[in-house]
């Protein structure tokens, strides 16, 4: 089967139009939020590993927020998904230093709430 026939298939176009566009929006907004999240870490001269973890966490949360369909408010969805992704690392960090663990709620409220809201608002704006 030729590639052109696959792209002309109505079911394929329907899937791409509705589902993949929302995931692409989530990946793009997650990447943007990850870059914004890493800028203060660069100023503080943190290690490359911390920069990568910080970027990939926000980027992955953006794609998960877009991909998971839960019938709750988008702000709450951002908090729940980010907390579930962050929980294993938070437990390890809490064992070493409880003070560093206390920074995570402000981090979740700051970046993931805005990420969850912006993904859903942009998807609604373009009728997804």
Q: 110: domain range? A: 10-125
Q: Residue 5 falls within a domain, yes or no?
A: no
Q: Residue 2 falls within a domain, yes or no?
A: no
- Residue among 70, 71, 59, 47 nearest 111 (CA): 59
Tens-binned pLDDT, residue by residue, of the chain (128 aa): 455 555 556 665 666 666 677 888 888 888 998 888 888 888 888 888 878 888 888 888 888 888 888 888 888 888 888 888 888 877 776 666 666 666 666 666 677 888 888 888 888 887 65
The total of other beta-carbon atoms located within 10 Å of residue 113's CB is 17
Calpha distance 44→74 (Å, rounded): 31
Q: Residue 96 falls within a domain, yes or no?
A: yes
Q: Residue 103 falls within a domain, yes or no?
A: yes
For residues 62 and 27, the answer to whether their CB atoms sit within 8 Å is yes
- Please state the domain count of the chain: 1
Total-model pTM: 0.74
Q: Residue 3 falls within a domain, yes or no?
A: no
Q: Residue 83 falls within a domain, yes or no?
A: yes
Q: Residue 69 falls within a domain, yes or no?
A: yes
């Amino acid at each position: 089967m030729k590639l052109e026939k696959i792209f002309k298939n109505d079911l394929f176009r329907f899937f791409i139009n509705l589902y993949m566009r929302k995931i692409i929006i989530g990946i793009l907004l997650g990447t943007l939020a990850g870059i914004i999240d890493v800028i203060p870490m660069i100023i503080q001269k943190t290690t490359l590993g911390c920069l990568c973890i910080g970027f990939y966490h926000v980027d992955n949360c953006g794609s998960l927020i877009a991909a998971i369909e839960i019938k709750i408010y988008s702000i709450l969805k951002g908090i729940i998904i980010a907390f579930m992704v962050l929980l294993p690392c938070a437990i390890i960090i809490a064992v070493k230093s409880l003070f560093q663990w206390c920074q995570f709620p402000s981090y979740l409220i700051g970046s993931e709430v805005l990420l969850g809201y912006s993904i859903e608002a942009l998807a609604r704006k373009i009728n997804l």
